[in-house]
């Protein structure tokens, strides 16, 4: 199973020319790799253009393309989805703060196949495993919103936030 994770290009008026690694994408890539998923990350903020994107799609041949969506740049992400869908038959999953804020609305506004609300590590891993197994029933994947291209918008319950369940608050209190 191969997944291409994309960070759409953004511009910082405060720090022009500076790029910061996307921590959320790093977490996702780490968990997927740990579970045997082949991952490639393409940060469009590093001045990659359509030529490099299409070359990466041709060479890496992912079964799934994941895109993080920032609210301020959501239209840029939608254009990116259009380009990917026009280029080939790729399944696209969206995640990020914008998805958590607006929910399945993104599936009506874009050509994306899936959207993940909330923490995406477990949901994305389950989606990758389902695709890897050749299954097409995604209805039992918690936290996954399924788009019109897959038969209609279905919103599954959101998973609990992983970070909260991993922290013991008493460890952060001094006596």
CATH number where 136 lies: 3.40.50.280
Question: Based on the number of CB atoms within 10 Å of its own CB, is 88 exposed (0-12), middle (13-18) or buried (19 or more)?
Answer: exposed
Give pLDDT, residue 175: 44
Q: Sort residue 36 into left (φ over 0), alpha (ψ -120 to 50) or beta.
A: left
With a cut of 50, which residues of the chain have pLDDT below it? 166-175
**126, 119 Cβ separation under 8 angstroms:** no
Q: What is the pLDDT of residue 127?
A: 97
Structural domains in the chain (count): 1
65, 92, 118, 160, 169 from 165: Cα distances, Å: 28, 29, 14, 8, 10
pLDDT value of residue 111: 94
Task: Report the pLDDT value the prediction gives residue 53, as an integer from 0 to 100.
Answer: 92
């Amino acid at each position: 199973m191969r997944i291409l994770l994309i960070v759409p290009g953004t511009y910082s008026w405060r720090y022009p020319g500076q790029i910061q690694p996307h921590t959320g994408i790093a977490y996702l890539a780490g968990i997927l790799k740990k579970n045997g998923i082949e991952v490639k990350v393409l940060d469009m903020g590093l001045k990659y253009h359509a030529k490099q994107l299409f070359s990466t799609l041709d060479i890496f041949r992912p079964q799934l393309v994941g895109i993080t969506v920032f609210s301020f740049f959501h239209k840029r992400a939608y254009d990116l989805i259009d380009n990917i869908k026009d280029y080939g038959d790729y399944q696209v999953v969206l995640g990020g703060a914008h998805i958590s804020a607006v929910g399945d609305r993104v599936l009506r506004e874009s050509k994306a196949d899936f959207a993940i609300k909330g923490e995406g590590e477990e949901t994305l891993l389950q989606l990758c495993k389902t695709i890897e197994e050749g299954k097409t029933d995604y209805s039992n994947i918690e936290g996954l919103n399924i788009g019109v291209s897959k038969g209609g918008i279905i919103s599954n319950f959101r998973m609990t936030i992983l970070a909260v369940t991993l922290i013991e608050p008493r460890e952060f209190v001094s006596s």
